[in-house]
Homo-oligomer: A and B are copies of this chain.
Amino acid sequence: MEKAFKNLVRKDYPYLCGGKLLLAVSGGVDSVVLAHLCHLAKLDFSIAHCNFNLRGDESDGDEKFVVDLADSLEVEVYTESFDTLNYAENNGVSVQMAARELRYEWFAELSSSVHFDYTLTAHHANDNLETFLINLIRGTGPEGLAGIKNNKNEIVRPLLGFTRKEIEAFARKRNYKWREDSSNTSDKYMRNKIRQQIVPVMEELNPNLLDSFARTQAHLQESMDLVEDYISLLYPKLVQKDKYGYAIDIEFLKKVPNQKQILYQLLKTFGFTEWNDVYDLLDAQTGKMVLSDTHRLIKDRKKLLLTEHNENSVGKEYSIGREEELVMIPGMGSFHISEVEKRGQASENCIYVPEHKLEFPLSIRKWKKGDFFYPFGMKGKKKLSDFFKDEKFSLPEKEHTWLLCSGKDIVWIINHRADDRFRVENSDSRILKICIT
């Protein structure tokens, strides 16, 4: 295996030679073997060990073991202690997921602070097959079957071409020591079942199982690459970035086959789970929406609007006193109030109002149900909901629209329309110019 590893590095991972490498070592047989192999191949590496504190003394024993291993190989070692259970609880994730997130976060930190070119992990061929089977059993999207891409990325997995059997046999032959992990998380329970009861039957049916699985998975990965290429090709025609998020063009989408699958591919990273509801939006009424934990998808005429949840500004109110000439409003810009000689031309950003009609402090708030105003240039009053409808405002546009108010009256639908009650008459003497920039 030593020779095979050296050949592999020369042929498939030439960039590892001369690079500064960070090796993730748990103390288990796989990572211990990888550490020895890297040492034998004279690679320039340091060791990183995470103590997840999940198994008390045993965890500390693992840490000590890895520090001793690093000493004996005469390489640097970095260790970090995590409160994994707490992290899992606070973030609402499983213990395995917590450990995973903490590990990769810390590796990324180390890589950038100490500067490592690549991080190496000891995943091997059986890990890949086991993960495939775990995902298959639990149910998964195609990405869960296609597995991790082992390309020239920051995380390198040079043992993917070796089996667990080969690695263990090599460790025994060389009399390497390693630590056994006594934990039994649900992930590990499943992995053990698969390892002990499923994979052996599969190997009995095909002795070259791991080889042919690697090819099968590579083919699957290739198909997923093509799906990505296809979506990238459609993307510029299909999706426009707009002020509040993304707009998906339903008319274009309906011209291509398999709309639902494309929608799934476009939206799969935004946390939606009710996919049938998402698909139904295509033919739903304007205003219908589907929520994920982080995002909203809203039907708006011929578009689907994807925006982040934006609850922070609902109910917010700012007030502007007479003496303040410049007021910053987060997410909107700044208000300037100045007295002018005579009324100028109103624009999207500026209005002119007679001072005596205003009741200070003015307030700035969002639209609420029942709001009405007197559109500039018209005599009658109008509900804001009707104004929004006539102007074809989307829901995010409505939500992002601010109102300048004097007492209970709307003075200005900011950036959109002034109120007729506050128009400047020829008789008015003190005129204020109110601008937002």
Which of B138, B140, B201, B261 is the one whose CB lies under 8 Å from A197? Answer: B201
Please give me the residue from chain B that is nearest to A208 by CB atom.
Answer: B139
Which of B193, B204, B215, B258 is the one whose CB lies under 8 Å from A225? Answer: B258
Contact A226 B227 (CB under 8 A): yes
Docked complex Cα distance between A202 and B198 (Å): 8
Contacts of A220 in B (CB 8 A): 142, 145
Please give me the residue from chain B that is nearest to A223 by CB atom.
Answer: B142
Stoichiometry (number of copies): 2
Interface residues of A in 215-261 (CB under 8 A from B): 215-216, 219-220, 222-227, 229-231, 233, 256-258, 260-261
Contact A201 B198 (CB under 8 A): yes
- Residue A125 at the chain B interface, CB threshold 8 Å: no
Docked complex Cα distance between A262 and B265 (Å): 19
Docked complex Cα distance between A372 and B85 (Å): 85
Contact A229 B257 (CB under 8 A): yes
- Residue A88 at the chain B interface, CB threshold 8 Å: no
- Residue A206 at the chain B interface, CB threshold 8 Å: yes
Interface centre among A213, A227, A233, A265 (most CB of B within 10 A): A227
Contacts of A212 in B (CB 8 A): 137-139
The total of chain A residues at the interface (CB under 8 A) is: 48
Contact B138 A206 (CB under 8 A): yes
Contact A190 B219 (CB under 8 A): no
Contact A224 B222 (CB under 8 A): no
Contact A137 B219 (CB under 8 A): no
Q: Smallest Cβ distance from A21 to chain B, in angstroms?
A: 29
Docked complex Cα distance between A62 and B229 (Å): 51
Please give me the residue from chain B that is nearest to A257 by CB atom.
Answer: B229
Docked complex Cα distance between A397 and B206 (Å): 45
- Residue A106 at the chain B interface, CB threshold 8 Å: no
Contact A222 B264 (CB under 8 A): yes
Contacts of A223 in B (CB 8 A): 142, 223-224, 227, 261
Please give me the residue from chain B that is nearest to A200 by CB atom.
Answer: B197
Q: Smallest Cβ distance from A342 to chain B, in angstroms?
A: 62
Question: A136-B213, A142-B219, A225-B258 are known contacts; what are 14 more A-B pairs with Cβ within 8 Å?
Answer: A136-B216, A137-B206, A137-B212, A139-B215, A139-B216, A140-B219, A141-B216, A141-B219, A145-B145, A219-B264, A223-B224, A225-B261, A226-B261, A226-B262
